[in-house]
Amino acid sequence: MSYRRLGRTALKVGPLAVGTVNFGWLTSDEDSFSILNSALDSGLNFIDTSDNYNAGKTESVLGRYFAKENNRHDVVLATKCFSPPTDFGSKDEAERTGALAGPNQRGLSAKHIIEACDASLRRLQTDYIDLYQMHHIDREASFDEVWQAFEVLVQQGKILYVGTSNFAGWQIAKACEKASARHFLGPVSEQSTYSLLNRTVELEVIPACRDYGLGFIPYSPLGGGLLAAAKGEAQGLRSGNALGQASEPQRDKLSKYATLCDELGEHPADVAIAWVAGNPDVTSPIIGPRTQQQLDSALHALEIKLDDATLERLDELFRGPGGEAPEAYAW
C-alpha cells in the first residue's frame, strides 16, 4: 500500500478514504464492521464521516466499531461540522446520539464548532479527531471567529488538523491567509466533488490546494453513481435508478463510456475511480462502499493504470473546463 502526505503535513494517509455515509442506513453494524476491518487489513487507514450523516447515527456506528476493535489509533479519522443532523427521530434518540437542533446548532459560529465537536467525540467514542472539516462555507462567520474556535479545540487536544469542504478557490485562499496572520496552521485539506462528470474544481479549487499546500480529497468519484450505472448498476447512488436520472446527452456519453471500459476489460466504476486516483493533485478519493464487493472493486481500481491514449479518449468524452483559470476562458 502506498501512503502519501496529507497536504503540507507529515500525516500519512492511504490512497483511498473510506466514506461511511451508508453505515447506519443501508449497511448494518455487522457489515460495516466487516468492511472497515477489510479496509484496514488492506492497508487503508483513512476513514471519513460527518456529524449529519444519518442524523449522527453513522458516527455512532464508528464509535461502536472503535470500542469493539480497540483500534482507534490505527485510523486517521475525519469528520465534519456545519449542518445539523437531518432526522432527529424521537427526543430520546436525539439526546442519545447527541443530535443538535436550533438556530445556533448549524453553521460555523464558535458556539456551534465547539459544541458540534464535543457531540461528535461522544458519538465516535474517542478523545480526539484527526481531521475536523468545515462541511461548507458559512458566509455569516468571519474567519477570525472560525479560527479562534479551532485554535481552542487544537489547544484542548480535541482535534489535530482542520480541513475545508465545498469551498471555492478564493475561499480557500482567504481561509489560509487569515490563519497565517494568526500564526495558525489553518486548513490542510479540501474535500470536494470531483469525477469525470464534474470537473469544475480543475478551474480554481485544485490550483488553490496545490499553491497553499492542501491535500485534495475528492468525493463522489462515481458521479453520484452514474458512472457505475453505465452498465446499469446504481453503485454508490443513495436512491433511485441512476440511468433513469440521467439526461439523454448523459446517457449517450455513458453508453460510449461503457464501450470504452469494455475495451479495457474493466468495470466502469473501477475506471472512474482509477481516473480520479491517478490525478497527481489528488490525495485520496473517498469511496462509499455499501458492501464488501464494492470495497474490493475500489481496491482493484488502484491497480488500473490508464495510458495516455485512454486518458485522451476520456477527456474527449467528458470534457473538463479547459484547464485552470484564467487561461481556461481568457488568453
Residues forming the active site: 53
CA distances from 282 to 7, 83, 162, 169, 205 (A): 10, 26, 18, 15, 12
Residue 35 to residue 107: CA distance in whole angstroms: 32
Asked if 84 and 106 count as a contact pair (C-beta separation under 8 A), the reply is yes
Residue 319: CB atoms within 10 A of its CB come to: 11
Strand bridging mode 12-13 / 4-5: antiparallel
Ordered DSSP codes for 7-63: TTSS-EE-SSEEE-TTBTTTB-HHHHHHHHHHHHHHT--EEE--TTGGGGHHHHHHH
CA-based nearest residue to 253, from 223, 289, 221: 223
Tell me 229's DSSP state.
Answer: G
By residue count, the chain amounts to 331
Q: What is the residue type of 170?
A: W
Cα 274 to the chain's mean position, in Å? 16
Q: Per DSSP, what are the bridge partners of residue 46? A: 17, 76
Helices (H), the chain: 29-42, 57-69, 91-97, 110-124, 143-155, 169-181, 205-212, 248-264, 268-277, 292-301, 308-317
Q: Which residue has the cell 483513512?
A: 46
CA-based nearest residue to 213, from 193, 194, 191, 188: 188
